[in-house]
Structure 1
């Protein structure tokens, strides 16, 4: 205990200084984790544990958002391809680095083609329905899309499961989708749908049309 307020009054070790030091360290960690152009599950787990140890007490909305998204991604203890790409860009933004672009040999971002969308596309109910997003949304950052759903009474799911009603696929996709090699969220949604689950797979265009009228 700091009975004589020596810690609080110190020029070098007061709380604000430690908070700032932790935030600065996080910027460096973010830059380091993304240096190779990818973030894997082990790195995501390390980051989550570091946040819990060092900056969990900070009342910073940006750090809280990062931690919230990270916790959601790791709920199943696996960082899938979509989540890895989203986390990579979250960390790039936090560290002040450019948004990730595909490098030579990596799949390029293209308009998705031949995706297993529901046909006909369903009318979408918002109130109390669970939505999951995958891919890159042309509308804007995924968190903004999720906020619009929540404003209409919808719920954002952490991953694809029987509880999810809609999987919304971003209109900026992956070259592999042209060859029916889908991401894990789409594959799982197709399996659940084929097994009779009430999950619909819809494109961003349909989602936007019903959202905005």
Structure 2
């Protein structure tokens, strides 16, 4: 168990470092930094306990604290903090124990980039073009879930070189669904992804095979399982080809491989989208809504 906990610690640490590197990238990719982005970064850092003892982390927190001390942020301070973020990002990239040359780290960097882009609640043309460039240079990201979905949307939006407000808003909502980062709801991180969720007209538990993933507002996983069993379903621990429903909890799990989704979700998406297996991926809200309406 101790070895497992150490593995999780280092995996979560590296996940947060990679996220932070690309959150900074998403903030500065349009060439400027605004106060909303600084406030988002400050709030995100408050929740990143796994890396709080790192000198780069402490440097950012101290710099932001200095800027926010008088409760106002002027243009000079924003220009200075942008320079600081570039330097700190470079230092993070040079951490000797951090390896960013794997498929997993690419996914972490992609998640972080999307969070940084969303951090001021706006999505401008420069950010959309940068997102396309980031995905286009990585075949694994642009050809597989979830990068493929977002890459296809961005390509479509930019094909005529004109971004309509409807297209901009659709992409913004897609990024929120992917990252679980809904700043307008006061959440900078921690929601489970909603990107692969199916739209359903009913939830039939009786005689079905169900798997759960994530953290549930309804209660502990064991409590949720017992309730679903009471509704007549068979609950299993892993995603298989015989699965009828994968229910995703509202909150992401700390030990998921990625911050907004884990292997169960990826496997279910693969079975559903690539293998044609008629399983449904639903969220906790759908489960509860249809359970109470039956």
TM-score (norm 2): 0.35
TM-score (norm 1): 0.48
Q: Which has the higher helix share?
A: 2
